Structures are given as structure tokens and as C-alpha cells.
Amino acid sequence: MDFLGYEGKRVLVCGCYSGMGEATAKLLVELGAEVHGLDFKESALDLASFSLVDLRDPASIDSAVASIGGKVDALFNCAGLPQTAPPLDVMKVNYAGTRHLTHRVLEHMGEGGAIASISSNGGMGWSRRMDVLMPLIAIEDYADIVKWCEDNPDTVNEGYSLSKEAVIVWTMRMGADLIKRGIRINCTLPAPTQTPMMDEFESATKKEVLDTFIQPIGRRSTPEEQAAPLVYLNSDGANFVNGLAMPVDAGFMGAMVTGQVDMSALMPAE
């Protein structure tokens, strides 16, 4: 029984060069999907097609989607930049570009389609910033989103947290709209994951802070452990799951809420 239902489906994976996106694309190929990859660097995977794309450039996004053409059954938004990149680039790639790509792909997606994006447990503070996030996600045009970011540098800050929070709230907002067309959208909130990007996080974040987010399991996840939940969310087996921001963190979020996590490393020094 093909519980996940990927055999013969046409799927797009943005960010397939390495890390979680590469693991996701590999798993989808194994499941029999026709996988089309997008990334800023060329993938070594055996895919149905690969297109170079720069999520900082909407024209590049439009060209990449047009080159693939045809119906799309599922989209996986796995591309991202860490907080060590310029803040405006982080916002463009992690949020504005991801959103623009999604809307272009939606033009090729019909009933039964599904979208899954990678956010982060670094965006878990979204509920405390709805006064900022709701006006931001109400902006639809790529250039207008960028202009908002340029006009609000203090709010954008390093870009990473805000971009991941925006993906979460945008996913929730889009879920209610898209389900009327029979299309689902969800996102995951990964714990720290051992990908090539982890070097950047380690250079910008104290070890004790990073270690806070690997409680209670005591280790980082692998890309494959993050890929499987993404693949599930876009599968036939999850056809009533929509608008969900799903922690994939080995219990960190639950342990934090119930007071079983030491959060002292995140507290400001007195």
C-alpha cells in the first residue's frame, strides 16, 4: 500500500543542493516521485530536472518555475540563509522569495496539491509579535515586502528570527484560503540540525544557547530526520492536515511548555 502516495507525482524541491532539502529530494526520488530541483547551487542528485534560482531575484524565480512548467502536485520550500548573511538577503530568501515562489507554483497546482516549508524553532516567538507579523504578511508584492524590510531595520534585526516567524504566520493565514481550492499548506519547526549551514549558526551563536534547543534529547537532528516529516506533510496520508506549524524537535517544545527545559542560557544577563 502506497500510504504516502508519491508514486508518479510531480514535485518541486527548492533548496535541494544540501542539508534538509537534499535529504527531502532523495527520499522523494526513492518514493517514486518525479522530482524537479531548484537551488542557487547545482545539485548532484539524479533529478527529473534542475534549475538554478536566486530567491533574492523574483525574475529568477519566475524563470525557474516557467522552465519546469506543467502541473505540480507538491512544493517543498527548503531553501534558507542563516543569521550570518546580510539581514535583507535573509528576509528575501527565507520569506519574500519563498512566498513569491509558492505563489508562482500555485498557478500550476490544482486540487489535491500540497506545500510544505521549513521554518525553525528559532521562530517560536511568533505569537508574541502578531502586531508586527500580521501587517507584514498582508503585503503581497515582493518589492513591497523588501521595501518594508528596508524601512524597518530595527524590527528586521538579524533577519533570521523574523523571517522564520513570518513563514509560520503566513502558513497559518494561507491555510484557510488555500483549503477552499483543495490545496494544503504546512510548515515544520526544526530543532538544530547537523547540516552544512550549522557552521554558520555556531559562529554566530553561543554553544550554550544552541544546546538549549537540543533538550531533552541531547543531540542535534539529522537532515533525514527533518526530511521525513516534510514528506509526510505533503503526502496523501496527511490530507486533513492544514495550516500547521509542526515542531520537529524531539520534544523540546513540549518540554519547554511544561517547565522541563533549562532556559537560563536564553535569559539576559543581569
pLDDT tens-digit readout, 201-225 = 888 888 998 999 999 999 999 999 9
Task: Give Cβ neighbours of residue 230 (< 8 Å, ≥ 6 apart).
Answer: 20, 24, 76, 78, 116, 118, 188
19-40 per-position pLDDT tens digit: 999 999 999 999 999 999 999 9
182-206 per-position pLDDT tens digit: 999 999 999 999 998 888 888 888 8
Which cell goes with 50? 534542475
Is the pLDDT at 265 greater than 90? The verdict is no
Rounded CA gap, 148 and 136, in Å? 8
The domains of the chain are located at: 10-257
The pLDDT of residue 163 is 98
What mean pLDDT is reported for the chain? Answer: 95
Edge-to-edge order in the sheet of strand 34-39: 49-52, 34-39, 10-14, 74-77, 114-118, 184-190, 245-248
Rounded CA gap, 54 and 57, in Å? 6
The structural architecture, per CATH, of the domain 10-257 is 3-Layer(aba) Sandwich (3.40)
Mapped onto helix, strand or coil, the DSSP state of residue 248 is strand
Average pLDDT over residues 70-76: 97
The pLDDT of residue 204 is 84
137 touches 170 (CB < 8 A): yes
Which residue do the cell numbers 530526520 mark? 225
224 touches 186 (CB < 8 A): no
Which residue do the cell numbers 502506497 mark? 2
63 touches 102 (CB < 8 A): no
Strands in 227-266 per DSSP E: 245-248
Going by pLDDT thresholds of 50, 70 and 90, the confidence category of residue 125 is very high
Is the pLDDT at 81 greater than 70? The verdict is yes
The pLDDT of residue 270 is 54
Is the pLDDT at 77 greater than 70? The verdict is yes
127 touches 239 (CB < 8 A): no
pTM of the model: 0.96
Mapped onto helix, strand or coil, the DSSP state of residue 192 is coil
The pLDDT of residue 197 is 85
Is the pLDDT at 90 greater than 90? The verdict is yes
